[in-house]
Structure 1
Amino acid sequence: MNPPTEKPTLEQHPFRYTDREGSIVGTMTNDGSDIHIKMDGWEFVGKMFDDLEPVQTTGLPDRFRLHHDCLIDCNFDFTIPVLVNERNKLSNVDLLVHFELGKQNERGGIDREGFQITLEYDSLKYASSAKPSDMEDVLLEIQKQLPDGAFIQSCFNCLYSDYSPLGNGVFGCMMCFKNLKQEYLQVKSKEDFWPVHDHFERQVQETWLCDEFERRVPGTGYRG
């Protein structure tokens, strides 16, 4: 295991794609905003795992089913490296992720999607429930199970991150306000949030981490 670092690297990680025809093992590169998947000579890009589009569609095998140009009717299994902070002791650990994408439904959407995750830390496994959900909910499930004083040191637990009251996708829709730290820290309600709402630096993934991380204080911002 490498020494703990302050933020993730852009290394490729194994990525397993599964559909009705079987599984393909490819690679995933993730920079905290954009996701790049390569498998069987094909490349897909997106931001939230439910919006992965093929870079090239000409000759794309029929097994890759698309809806609004994005992959559906398949499952993904992969790992995301994260840091666990237990009383200022940092440990590199892997978040084991299973993501389900259903079929097109009658309303023009897909019939199911969501994450199940497992965190292996200190020789123990912490798992989310069997029901797939968005990344916010499954991370909250894991956090409740961790020992006192331990938390995942990532954007999800950062003092300067929040979600929009207008709604968000299943992954990668956190708003980073490190460019407006003092203004954001004055936010205590939805009404307080609107003046800064549109001025975030960028959208980030819950599992990402930068060197300006500060642990979130309960009651901060719109999400509390």
Structure 2
Amino acid sequence: MTPQSWAGWYRDRLGSEALTITTDGTQLRTRIRGVDFAGASFDSLGPVPGIPAESGAFALDGGNLRDFVLEWDMPVPIASDDGAVQQATLSCLLSLKPPEPDLGVALHFGGAVYASGRAELDFGSVLDDIRRQLPSGASLQPSLLDAI
């Protein structure tokens, strides 16, 4: 698969920072405050082994990031029954802050917004919820999204 990347923001108790999130379909990567992070999913992002994180620069739990918010937009293809493909934007906000984690996802397509009303952290389930809301004949195409 072709790697993809998206611009976004990281926020925690120390402030906010612009970042780029990349994925090859199996692992997510980003760089926050000069430290490389990787993980199989957003809630498992941890410092890349061998590169020490500054003490106090992040809230870590078992080596993984915690108590933070990630926000990003990503282009996604929407296909119609006639084979035409249009680009839409998926806006995502992942909050791993106490008391409970939260994942907000909204698809902006054709002048409408399709949002998941489910309180889940499973990205695939949230995408399935959005897929069910799309107009007849429109389908969110499988992509690297499904691997996250």
**Does the aligned pair in 1 maintain the 2:3–2:25 contact within 8 Å?**
no
Give % identity: 28
Residues 133 and 50 from structure 1, CA distance in 2 versus in 1: closer, same or farther, beyond 3 angstroms?
closer
Partner residue in 1 for 2:18:
25
Instruction: Output the CA distance in 1 between the equivalents of 2:80 and 2:116.
Output: 20
Structure number with bigger Rg = 1
**Does the aligned pair in 1 maintain the 2:26–2:147 contact within 8 Å?**
no
Q: Alignment partner for residue 138 of structure 1, among 126, 129, 134?
A: 126
Partner residue in 1 for 2:37:
44
Q: CA RMSD in A?
A: 2.3
Partner residue in 2 for 1:175:
none
TM-score, length-normalised on structure 2?
0.84
Residues 86 and 92 from structure 1, CA distance in 2 versus in 1: closer, same or farther, beyond 3 angstroms?
same
2:85 alignment partner AA: L
Q: Alignment partner for residue 111 of structure 2, among 119, 123, 127?
A: 123
Instruction: Output the CA distance in 2 between the equivalents of 1:13 and 1:205.
Output: 12
Give ranges in structure 2 of 5+ residues lacking alignment: none
Deviations 1:156-179 (A, max 9, x none): xxxxxxxxxxxxxxxxxxxxxxxx
1:153 alignment partner AA: Q
Deviations 1:3-33 (A, max 9, x none): xxxx7x4343212111123211111111111
Superposition deviation, residue 57 in structure 1:
2.1
Q: Alignment partner for residue 92 of structure 1, among 82, 87, 98?
A: 87
Residues 112 and 31 from structure 1, CA distance in 2 versus in 1: closer, same or farther, beyond 3 angstroms?
same
